Structure 1
Amino acid sequence: MKRQFGHRARLALSPPEIRLIDDQAHAGRAMWNLLHDWWTMLPKDKRSLTAADTAIRQARKEIDWLGVLPAQAAQAVLKTYFQAWKNCWDGRAEEPNFKARFRTVMSVDIPQGRDLNITRVHRRWGMVNIPKVGRVRFRWTKDLPVGKRANKNNRITGARLVKDALGWQIAFRVQTLEPKPDPHAGPEVGIDVGVTVPLALSDGKRYDHDEWLTEKEKGKLLRLEQRAAHRRTCRKRGERTSNRLRATYDQIQELRARAKRRHLDWQHQTTTDIATKYGTVVVEQLNIPNMVKSAKGTIEQPGKNVAQKVGLNRSISQEAWGRTVELLTYKLAQRGGSLHRVPASGTSQRCSACGFTTPGSREDQATFACKNPDCGWSGNADHNAARNVLHLYRMGLALVPAAGRAVVRRAHRVKPATAR
């Protein structure tokens, strides 16, 4: 089966190369804004892909700093802009808008894979060709289909340069042809996600992690946030952000980006281990946006325990449960496994031994003790919830996709009317 995926690697750039790529990214953002301005000003009957392509070519000839952007990257901006409008017309996204200088992710697209000319230098480093920049080293952390290994079915179709708080990276678009995996022979397992225990499995295993920042980094982050808050108070209303305040913001983003990378690395290692050991994984269908809603309330009806709810919302967002499920989904599919979702209501209050839900069974956050006099089972609360998640799947209560749920709901609505 054909598989398309991305692989991101860190670039080792010199200061002049960083400035060149920065100029290309700013030129691409400006071209998007000019294209959007040109598109919205024209009458609808004169808007076409050919007219937009002609306007971009003329702009690159007349404006020097737009010529810094390679021609293929400029065409990629046009293609992405038209795709954004198509997503809007299909109802998948909102209308495209202007891209701000400091709130937009800086990126440059390299749509042609043959322009990269990738070679491996040694075990840890490779070389890639970036248009109008030259040969650049990148960190080699994954075997790529280059050289003699590249063919029609296994090749790199393109790349994209992306900048975050820690520097520039290159994201390769890889296309491979792999044999269809055999069904995974591993056991079934239910997973309960949480804040104190990130992942608890129905067989008693759990996956924990340490803090993403060290104590020294936490102290530095606190000082930087206090410094930024003090400098914000010194800025007058409507005044432009000072360079010192912006430099403080950059340092804060660097620490948060470092924590995010460590979290993503832990998620990849954990989900790979789960997908390798288990053939069927069952998770809860959680509505995370509703879970992290603010408890502030209104003036007429103010909320309660607002500060505690803010801290809980932050902890839930930092765990990124949705990303864990996404990683598990495609990794299980690669290994012949499957992922299923079950309703989340009642999984933490039900006793996994006797099946009864009795009030007061959760003695504290970590312990579950069944109050049924005929049972009396006690154990870890997260382990109990994971066993209930797996039990719902074995009872045939796995949720179907959204379209299927709509069909089931219509069928249930018709039955009472037909009976009457």
Structure 2
Amino acid sequence: MDQVGLVKRQFGHRARLALSPAQAAVLDGQAHTARTAWNLLHEWWQLCRRDQRTLAAADAVIRQARKEMDWLGQLPAQAAQAVLKTYFQAWKNCWEGRAEAPEFKARFRTPLALDIPQGRDLQVVRVHRRWGMVNIPKLGRVKFRWTKDLPVGRRADKDNRITGARLVKDALGWHIAFRISVLEPAPAPHTGPEVGIDAGITIPLALSDGTDFHHEPWLTEKEQARLLELERRAAHQKSCRTPGEPTSRRLQHTYDQIAGLRAKAKRRHLDWQHQTTTTIAKTYGTVVVEQLPITNMVKSAKGTVDHPGTGVAQKSGLNRVIHAEAWGRTTGFLEYKTRRHGGSLHKVPAPGTSQRCHACKTITPGSRESQATFVCKNEACGWSGNADTNAARNVLADYRAGHALAPAAGRCSRQTRKRAKPPTAR
């Protein structure tokens, strides 16, 4: 906290860049150069002795390589330093058990990205209501879509400013992700009501007060038909390819079209999640969700050769739907948005919330008649209603009964720490 009643908030904002084909080609080349610099640094790390793996030695290697290799010169010097710092931070995260060891970045499996670590190099200005201009090193002034008021011009100072940016390319083109630091008033405690949330498939989010949040399919019928056609075309083109033969341009073009449709669906999903979680965070002071073991929920039912599973196709379809809903991402959005609005997020154990009647607190076989209906078979109760609403009320009741889980921020599982062990000692 810098001043009384003020807190510093750091966040990111992503905007779409308006690039010409020539400008996009320049950024593609710079991003591939940054990826290659990472791979060269990774090879140098593996060849060096332990006592030579220092930041100063790696910096000297990068500087010497930029002098000897002309193609490394197209990468801005600050971007090359960002690659170096990111690589060393990746090893630090590995040693501390937060991530796996850094690996070689393949050309076709690695998203293209490029860092602009210094905010003063960006020189962001607003042109008019819908567009802004940003300076990209070795590329010049580029327009980007203005969808959020940024601390630029007279609004920018040492406490409210853009500290850097990262250029990222996905199936929809190049985007710029600004890193922003602002000083704003500390949020007052939220006085809104408590609410429990049940995440499901039929109803994406059901609240304990009876409110439901639904969404339409992320792709229209025409887009879904187009996606199916492209997937069939890709399968046919792949079947005609000789094993070991490089991917043809036609097949790669089909893959790009498929990726574009899927990226469009993901963008719509993210927009719905942001709007929904913002509404919940503004309305309720205490939000309670289930601690869902999603990794266990989406395990395959294939089984083994000796003990094959049953209902494999049905379980695969269910797993795809669970992945598509992205419950974990929704919880992550709720966590930081409730904190920003002065509220709090709590998690309770998931077992029993869907089978237990919230009215009589008993579990009777056959109460869950269908995916959407819950009818309590306890003769003394007989409550009936929406199954997801019943589960949401159980979630809230468990929190009020003191069953909330302790926050586990910054921790990782034993399996993750074991997998993240570096190949060589520090």
Q: TM-score w.r.t. structure 1 length?
A: 0.95
- What is the aligned length? 406
Correspondent of 1:237 among 243, 259, 264: 243
In structure 1, runs of 5+ residues without a counterpart are 407-420
Q: How far is 1:404 from its partner?
A: 12
Which residue identity is paired with 2:96? D
Which of structures 1 and 2 has the larger relative contact order (alpha carbons within 8 angstroms, sep 6+)?
Answer: 2
Partner of 1:142: 148
Structure 1 segments, 4+ long, off by >4 Å, are: 403-406
Q: Which residue of 2 aligns with 1:347?
A: 353
Paired residues for 1:66-85 under 5 Å: 66-85=72-91
Specify the code of the residue in structure 2 equivalent to 1:397. Answer: H
State yes or no: 1:113 paired with 2:123.
no
Superimposed CA distance per residue, residues 55-102 of structure 1 (whole angstroms, 9 cap, x where no aligned partner): 111111221211110000000000001111111122222221110001
1:49 aligns with 2:55: yes
Distance, in Å, in 1 between the alignment partners of 2:229 and 2:220 is: 14
Pick one of 82, 93, 110 that aligns with 1:87.
93
Is 1:281 aligned to residue 283 of structure 2? Answer: no
Gaps of 5+ in 2: 1-6, 413-426
Deviates more, 1:192-201 or 1:82-91: 82-91
* 1:131 maps onto 2:134 in alignment: no
Aligned AA (2:320): R
Partner deviation per Cα, 1:83-139 (whole Å, 9 max, x = no partner): 111111222222211100010010110000000000000000000000000000000
Task: Determine helix, strand or coil for the equivalent of 2:74.
Answer: coil
- Determine the structure 1 residue equivalent to 2:423: none
1:303, distance to aligned residue in structure 2 (A): 0.6
Separation in 1 of the partners of 2:245 and 2:56? 42
Residues 177-223 of structure 1, C-alpha deviations (whole Å, 9 max, x = no match)? 11111110100000000011000000000000000001111011111
Identity %: 72
Q: Which deviates further from its counterpart, 116-125 or 394-403?
A: 394-403
Which of residues 383, 387, 390 in structure 1 aligns to 2:396? 390
Alpha-carbon separation, structure 1, partners of 2:86 and 2:409: 29
Match of 2:424 in 1: none
Q: Separation in 2 of the partners of 1:90 and 1:362?
A: 45
Farther off after superposition, 330-339 or 59-68: 59-68
The corresponding residue for 1:305 is 311
Superposed displacement of residue 234, structure 1:
1.4
The answer to whether residue 172 in structure 2 is matched with residue 166 in structure 1 is yes
The SS at the match of 1:34 is: helix
Offset, 1:405:
12
Assess, with a 3 A threshold, how the Cα gap between structure 1 residues 215 and 393 changes in structure 2: closer, same or farther: same
Match of 2:231 among 209, 225, 228: 225
Select the residue among 124, 128, 131 that pairs with 1:122.
128
How far did residue 403 of structure 1 move? 8.7
- TM-score, length-normalised on structure 2? 0.94
Q: Please give the secondary structure, in 1, of the residue aligned with 2:395.
A: helix
Deviation at 1:402, TM superposition (A): 3.9
What amino acid sits opposite 1:281 in the alignment? V
Pairing partner for 1:381 from 383, 387, 391: 387
Partner secondary structure for residue 4 of structure 1: strand
Q: Does 1:321 align with 2:327?
A: yes
- What is the identity, as a one-letter code, of the residue corresponding to 1:306? V
Equivalent residues in 2 for 1:132-211, closer than 5 Å: 132-211=138-217
